[in-house]
Amino acid sequence: MAIPRKLDGDLAALGDTASTITTTLQTMNHASARDVPGMRARLRENLQTFVDQVMDMADEAAGR
């Protein structure tokens, strides 16, 4: 069995963030109108986290 590397943990964290994003979207579909603005704000934060994680991984892959 292979020894887990940092990339493995990073990919798992990325998957967790993606799952949070899709769950938020599913919940928004059934949320009351008054809850949507707060959910959109959390969604934006989670999307920014996702982008940051991907860009950090790209920098590591490029040796930066």
Each domain of the chain, given as residue ranges in start order, spans 6-61
Q: What is the pLDDT of residue 3?
A: 84
CB 50 within 8 A of CB 18: yes
pTM value is 0.84
Give me the helices (H) in the chain, please. Answer: 6-30, 36-61
Q: pLDDT tens, 24-55? A: 999 999 999 999 999 999 999 999 999 999 99
Predicted pLDDT of residue 54: 96
Q: Residue 24 to residues 4, 14, 21, 62: CA-CA distances in angstroms?
A: 30, 15, 5, 32
